[in-house]
Amino acid sequence: MIVMKFGGTSVEDAAAMERVCEIVRCRLSSKPVVVVSAMAKVTDQLVAMGQAAGRSDSDSALAMSRAMRERHYNAASELLGTGLFTRFHAELESDFNALDELLRGIAAVGEITPRSTDAVLSFGERLSSKIVAAAFSAHGINSALVDARACIITDTTHTRALPLFDEINARLLAQVQPLIQQGIVPVMGGFIGATLTGTPTTIGRGGSDFSAAIVGGGLNAERIEIWTDVDGMMTTDPRLCPQARRIKEISFDEAAELAYFGAKVLHPATMLPAIQKNIPVHVLNSRNPKNEGTRITARAPHCRNAIKSIAVKKRITIVDLVATRMLMAHGFLRSVFEVFDRHRCPVDMVSTSEVSVSLTIDSNEAIPAIANDLQKLADVKYAGRKAIICLVGENVRETPGIAGQVFGSIADVNIRMISQGASEINISFVIDEDDVPRAVQLLHQKFFAEVDPAIFE
């Protein structure tokens, strides 16, 4: 069997769901289980509704819910046609009535908790999965709706609940496996689950990929397909460099480095259940299903190019600490990191010398307050509008002189900080945001003027 996960843009309206029907139809012989996100933007809108209700503004919350109701009814009636929709309508209606009742309840209390947030958010995937399952049936695909809340069992850490794998795997085998064996396509919502006592939970924003990996891992899938709206992973952002090429094959480790540095296609932490079972993950484009996309596997095949991809993370602030007296004294770095910790600000890159420490953080409003606290430990300077450039590839660790090639090709770009990760498969450095397009184009020209046809298209 395989898992096919469709993201929000792949189910954003009737036309998109129509494409999903055709894509799934072509895969029926592989015995798919389909996992869907909420329709695009719906989760954000549910968050906004919950917050409005939490401020006791039930008028705004209910107005937003009305608009969402319209959108779902429209998509469903377009997909199903008037006859089928008349019968299906009541199912959507009862969900939206339940949502409105929940919003009124939250507004009456005037407080939104993580637990009630999850209850509100759960409607996005409950609705999209219902519509997709109905659309499959209407298009002659034998399918069954599986309630994710009955299978994806989690702890009670609302809004970022942790899956209870043993429980989940048992339920997948009991509830989903038999459907597959009967030639039925199970359809379920990603992102949502429930506690052992049946209270709805969610597993973190963007969590549908994680759901797909959990299902694939639990059912020992042959592969997991992540259907999105791009042709897979690229050698760099094509908006920065039109010569960017598609990467056909990449390893989980490489994909992890890229995701961390802002390649938003897929978050590999969410692929852990697939990695552990050595299940390949394919990133594919639902608007261009003929394209082979990117295949992510535990071990990427040999590649003749020194690197696989150049990732960019913008809106970085670099913080320089100079402390002739205190630096490297016992406990100094700990006090520095405690400051960032107190402000809940993750640090990306760190580099130190005898008398200074430089770090990078995502630009954020707390920076003046952080600098103020750091001032007690050292002289502080900070500068925003920086970017991290990250070159990733398994070959980095075996290519002598690669740093020379990297920095030689951008000799006139001012480099503010350099780090070569312990994973040995990336070289990262910090430059001014304004230099990003030029640096990326020069690096791309240097490393991808010729590409290994087995790995890149």
The residues that touch ligand ASP, with contacts defined as CB under 6 A, are: 7-8, 37-38, 43, 124, 190-191, 205-208
Smallest gap from residue 70 Cβ to ligand ASP (A):
19
Q: How far apart are CA 312 and CA 433, in angstroms?
A: 10
Smallest gap from residue 441 Cβ to Mg ion (A):
30
If the CB atoms of residues 281 and 349 are measured against ligand ASP, the closer one turns out to be 281
Q: Which amino acid, one-letter code, is at 195?
A: T
Smallest gap from residue 39 Cβ to ligand ASP (A):
9
Token reading at 14: 């009737």
Smallest gap from residue 206 Cβ to ligand ASP (A):
4
Q: How far apart are CA 35 and CA 172, in angstroms?
A: 13
Closest Cα to residue 268, out of 285, 250, 284?
250
Residue 169 contact partner, candidates Mg ion, ligand ASP, none, CB within 5 to 8 A by sort of partner: none
If the CB atoms of residues 8 and 216 are measured against ligand ASP, the closer one turns out to be 8
Smallest gap from residue 219 Cβ to ligand ASP (A):
19
Site string for Mg ion, 189-208 (x = CB under 5 A): -----------------x--
Question: Which residue of the chain is nearest ligand ASP when measured via CB?
Answer: 208
Q: Which residues fall within 8 angstroms of residue 239, CB to CB, at 6 or more apart? A: none
Q: What secondary structure letter does DSSP report for 362?
A: E
HSE value, Cβ hemisphere, 13 Å, CA-based, for 241: 26
Residue 262 contact partner, candidates ligand ASP, Mg ion, none, CB within 5 to 8 A by sort of partner: none
Sign of the C-alpha dihedral computed for residues 359, 365, 367 and 369 taken in this order: negative
User: What torsion do the CA atoms of 51, 54, 58, 60 make, to the nearest 10 degrees?
Assistant: -20
For the chain, state the CA radius of gyration: 24
Residue 261 contact partner, candidates Mg ion, ligand ASP, none, CB within 5 to 8 A by sort of partner: none
If the CB atoms of residues 152 and 427 are measured against Mg ion, the closer one turns out to be 152
Q: Is 220 helix (H, G, I), strand (E, B) or coil?
A: coil
Q: Checking DSSP bridges between strand 2-6 and strand 32-36, what pairing results, if any? A: parallel
Does residue 124 bind Mg ion (CB under 5 A)?
A: no
Smallest gap from residue 156 Cβ to ligand ASP (A):
19
If the CB atoms of residues 206 and 262 are measured against ligand ASP, the closer one turns out to be 206
How many other CB atoms are there within 10 angstroms of residue 41's CB atom?
A: 14
If the CB atoms of residues 7 and 54 are measured against Mg ion, the closer one turns out to be 7
Question: Which residue of the chain is nearest Mg ion when measured via CB?
Answer: 7
Does residue 7 bind Mg ion (CB under 5 A)?
A: yes
Q: Which residues bind Mg ion (CB under 5 A)?
A: 7-8, 206
